[in-house]
Structure 1
Amino acid sequence: MAETTQPSTPQQAPAPQSTQKVSDVIRSYRPTKAFRPSKQDSHVHITSLDFDDQGDYLVAAGDDETMQVFDIKEGKSTKTVPSKKYGVHLARFTHHSRQVLHASTKVDDSLRLLDLHNESYIRYFTGHSDKVTSLALSPGSDAFISCSKDDTVTMWDLSSRNPQGKLKLATPYLVAFDPSASVIAIASQSTSSVLLYDFRNYDKPPFATFDLAPLEERFTPSTRGRAWTRLEFSNDGKNLLIGTDYHGHFVLDAFDGRLRAFLVGKNGSPGRAAPVSSSGKPLGQGDACFTPDGRYVIGGSGDQFEALVWDTHQTPEHGNFLQPMARLPQRGRTALVECNPRYNMFATADRETVFWLPEDSSKAS
């Protein structure tokens, strides 16, 4: 969907009208509210962000072993859920806004399904023998996939604690569903490749393999085979984003793997290169993502205090370099970025979670 119209924005938070397209407001986003995970500890870092399907709630996981839940319509934090025993990382809403799936950082490497209402665990998913580096939920069902440092990709269903299937691959690091839920992409850093599988026939060989080694040699030579942080299909299914920690981000044609653009403009690293460090400490889920219309990528600028916007419809410069079309100032670093799937807003995080709205709406009464 190229130029789709965003649905109406939350009534109790100032925001644009339903007729506004992303392209009409993309340059005017400004940070409007900021939330720290802990008033007592200024050293806590947010490690993952996720909106629910309806865009009404946001969950932020922190390395203080808590999850903070936000009500988007009210524009406030509504709950902080501790997970001191198991730790928490890669917190993801299921298709139910009261259920969050997350990886563990302590005790074992199980995945855990949490009921936010009564703060109790519904189910554990045990099968990995090392840290989980990526979680992806199917857009169309209760299936989900996890990648782990144990060199496996595991298929699950939320209704069963037992794995539905497993792939053994060389360093599978990131995983993503396409919008149709029929294709999964798996990124392997050490082999500099992205593998595409038919999800219904995942036990068959991949139907496509994108070799990124030549692209890494050209665009990211100092971080070859590492520092990948994000794997995401655009909502129209046409593009595939591979975010990196330092130099910039790759936008590939999702069908043939051809490089559409390399997104430049970052000034260094946000300091959290990957989902799990060598010490096992969670570091982040990547600082770039597509907007819901699939046209723009919003990302961090490294160690500068601004967010960057790239327009993938623009023709790249010579060499396929694409410069930012806008630089959006803020008061802190942008180590994580997540776009709301329903409303004209997005969230960023580092040591605090920040809500962004178009400037005119943020001033409206």
Structure 2
Amino acid sequence: MAEAASAPPPQTSAKVSDIIKNYRPSRAFRGNSKPDAPLFITSLDFDDQGEYLVASGDDETIQLFDVKEGKSTKSVPSKKYGVHLARFTHHSRQILHASTKVDDSLRLLDLHNESYLRYFSGHTDKVTSIALSPGTDAILSCSKDDTVALWDLNSRNAQGKMKLATPYLVAFDPSGSVIAIASQSTSSVLLYDFRNYDKPPFATFDLAPHEDRYTPSTRGRGWTRLEFSNDGKHLLVGTDYHGHFILDAFEGHVKAFLVGKSGATGRAAPVSTTGKPLGQGDVCFTPDGRYVLGGAGEQSDTLVWDLHQPPEPGSILKPITRLQYRGRSSVVLANPRYNMFATADKEIVFWLPDDNAKAVEK
């Protein structure tokens, strides 16, 4: 990938609220694909320290970036198996990813040696979501085979499985003790005690009435993102078209519906049946839990919502600002430690506060 002209790497010292409206694109990394077969970035992930970014693309490569230096450092091909949903483990030199070819295994890649350490086989259809426990080597994966599998990074065999109706997305809460599983066909989010995942869910959030109200034309489909805020109070359910739900993570009621998108992102998140490029959702929390960053759909803006702002009647929450750039924000991810975030479509863009505001290490 080629590097564009850029600003300095992240620094330290300002509150997020002081600089959230001042983010600007600082570096862009463009694909080297042929004009008739453009590269689309399908997933992004930061390591625990926020110092590295990994990206997967539909050219079947894994790209590694140094955030502080603002440069691409490695490109690893995965032509045989394909790659999607590339995730760092708690080791910044190990990447876990789903396969898009050959079989439906998860694969653990050592970036230093560019060799696979372990395969995790058991799913019989495409993996749609991968979540790593915040404090352990436990992994959860959802698949189109209607199962949720529990893995340990140190063993190739599944530690357990759950059979559910279309488990599509999965997320750990910040403590690692609660898991949320989103089922599109039932329009529900199920909460489980991770230590007793084989028991029935302790809570079920029914989103069907809210979909009838806010997203009637895409009810039961188009969910792209499931994420807890870092304070554990909110649960984000991202959708591909109308907007995004912010739920109370304890009671399940809708605290806000985030509007401002102009149509779909053009992605199939996270599994494609129509030939569209893959994705992982175009929305995320900032690490402080106050803001939500998201793409603007067909437009090229990145939207920012402030959850401290009172919603309008009907729990509608509009963006407080639009951050402009020439390309779509089809994948959006906030850095867990530094005040920077990344967006992607056909290129990866690093966003930093402008020269009048400094970034902060959290």
TM-score of the pair, normalised by structure 2:
0.95
Q: Does 1:167 align with 2:162?
A: yes
Q: 1:317 aligns with which of 308, 312, 318?
A: 312
Letter matched to residue 220 of structure 1: T
Q: What is the CA deviation profile of residues 46-75 of structure 1, one whole-angstrom value per residue up to 9, with x for unaligned ones?
A: 000000000010001001100110001110
Q: What is the CA deviation profile of residues 141-195 of structure 1, one whole-angstrom value per residue up to 9, with x for unaligned ones?
A: 0000000000000000000000000000000000000000000000000000000
Maintained 8 Å contact 2:19/2:357:
no
Q: CA deviation at 1:278?
A: 1.8
Unaligned runs of 5+ in 1: 1-11
Letter matched to residue 342 of structure 2: A
Q: Does 1:65 align with 2:60?
A: yes
Q: 1:258 aligns with which of 253, 256, 275?
A: 253
Distance 2:352 2:147 in 1: 39
Alignment of 1:279-294 (within 5 A): 283-294=278-289
Q: Does 1:18 align with 2:8?
A: no
Maintained 8 Å contact 1:37/1:62:
no
Letter matched to residue 330 of structure 1: Y
Q: 2:21 aligns with which of 24, 27, 46?
A: 27
Q: CA deviation at 1:16?
A: 6.3
Letter matched to residue 234 of structure 2: N
Distance 1:139 1:282 in 2: 29
Considering only aligned residues, what root-mean-square deviation do their CA atoms show, in Å? 1.7
Maintained 8 Å contact 2:107/2:120:
yes
Q: Which residue of 2 aligns with 1:202?
A: 197
Distance 1:171 1:348 in 2: 28
Unaligned runs of 5+ in 2: 1-5
Maintained 8 Å contact 1:268/1:303:
yes
Q: Does 1:155 align with 2:150?
A: yes
Q: CA 1:231–1:145 in 2, change beyond 3 Å: closer, same or farther?
A: same
Q: Does 1:83 align with 2:70?
A: no
SS in structure 2 of the partner of residue 200 of structure 1: helix
Identity, % of aligned pairs?
77
Letter matched to residue 19 of structure 2: V
Q: Which residue of 2 aligns with 1:94?
A: 89
Distance 1:346 1:38 in 2: 23
Distance 1:225 1:312 in 2: 25
User: How many pairs were matched up?
Assistant: 353
Q: What is the CA deviation profile of residues 96-126 of structure 1, one whole-angstrom value per residue up to 9, with x for unaligned ones?
A: 0000000000000000000001100000000
Maintained 8 Å contact 2:13/2:358:
no
Q: CA 1:179–1:66 in 2, change beyond 3 Å: closer, same or farther?
A: same
Q: CA deviation at 1:279?
A: 5.5
Q: Which residue of 2 aligns with 1:134?
A: 129
Distance 1:26 1:293 in 2: 12
Q: CA deviation at 1:248?
A: 0.2
TM-score of the pair, normalised by structure 1:
0.94
Q: Which residue of 1 aligns with 2:3?
A: none
Q: CA deviation at 1:14?
A: 2.5
Q: Does 1:358 align with 2:353?
A: yes
Q: Which residue of 1 aligns with 2:330?
A: 335
